[in-house]
Amino acid sequence: MIYIDLYKRLKTDIETGKIKPGHRIPFTTELVATYHISQTTVSKAVKQLEEEGLVRRIKSKGTFVLETGSSALKDLRRKKRIGLLFDGYLWDYMDTHFMVQAYRGMEESAKSNNKNILVLPKGGKTLDEYLHEIQSIGFCGLILHSPYTSSIKPLLRTLKIPLVCLDFIDHSLNVDQITIDHLKAGALAVRALHKESHDKILFLGNFWTEENIPSPHHAYWSSSAATEAKLLHIQKFTPYFLPMANLDILRKKIAEVLMKHEDSNGFICASLTYFQILKDLIERQGFRRKCKTDAVLFSDLREKPTLNGKPIHQCSWNTRDMGVRAMDVLLERLEGGPHRPQTHYLPVSIS
């Protein structure tokens, strides 16, 4: 159980009257024993209830439900609370380097401005249920992480709370968007392989099965790379968008691509997952190429991966800065005054 689940359960008990005003919620030791969770999880859940003005901690006595007359405190907490929203599938990636660094950047900026972040994944809730949850908790502003999927994108046209989109780009929407310079990134990747004398390049990116479209970020990179390949008169540039949901199937698909393009020795990988499979197939599974092999990975890893013992090229950006920028733009909006939404591009470089 994550802290948000315990928070929701306790909040429901309070709102339904199961735990009445003036009564104590279960002690930390009781909650730990009942739900088999850590004291840290309990502490975070109770802290969230406290920030919403639902409970109050009394030293040596416990935590008690407040009377409904605490609406002024609730409003104060709402003015300090910023929500981080995303579709449920991203929860599986919350401990990855990219997500951790982006969150740390947001948190750094929020704390310096006396704001708190509440992570609120959509999970299996319907859009109406999610909207109700957002409204019942109360936020002064929102950051939506990668709201590409049809299950969460409608929020962009529905929510009336100031919001910023992180790791997202859609020029048809009049909202602030924080993203990287995809056009430059794709071009840099091709130029790096061209300098290594590769003129037959494969691009490996993700295909979203549920949405029936390539991952938008990967599609932007591929399109830019294809344009640069034409300008440099590269003989062959071939993009493949393969579903990532089942790694065994993905491995088979990449193996099929390598067999079909035995003469391609330059690779552009849109994520670490594709590179790791590619590396294993080439180095250990008998797909070693006849000529030298080079690769470009879109990532901001601190340690550069290798292929056949040679460091690959890494097209990178500062993910922490992306989080900081998203929070700074949102805080600027919350200050009020004239504001024109725009797309904010983070610089990219290759090494």
Contact yes or no for 87/53 (Cβ under 8 A) = no
Q: Is residue 69 very low, low, confident or very high in pLDDT (cuts 50, 70, 90)?
A: very low
Whether 127 contacts 104, CB under 8 Å: no
How far is residue 210's CA from residue 201's CA, in Å, rounded to a whole number? 28
Higher pLDDT, 213 or 70: 213
Q: What is the pLDDT of residues 92-107, one digit of tens each?
A: 666 777 788 899 999 9
CA distance 13 to 24: 12
User: Maximum CA pair distance of the chain?
Assistant: 75
In the block, residue with structure tokens 């959509």: 122
- Over the stretch 227-253, which tens digit does the pLDDT of each residue have? 999 999 999 999 999 998 789 999 999
Domains of the chain with bracketed CATH: 3-66 (1.10.10.10), 76-179+321-346 (3.40.50.2300), 182-316 (3.40.50.2300)
Q: Containing H/E element for 67?
A: none
Spatial CA neighbour of 62 closest among 35, 38, 14, 27:
27
Per-residue model confidence as pLDDT tens digits over 262-276:
888 899 999 999 999
Q: What is the pLDDT of residue 187?
A: 97
The alpha carbon of residue 155 and the mean position of all alpha carbons in its chain are separated, in whole angstroms, by 16
Full-prediction pTM beyond 0.95? no
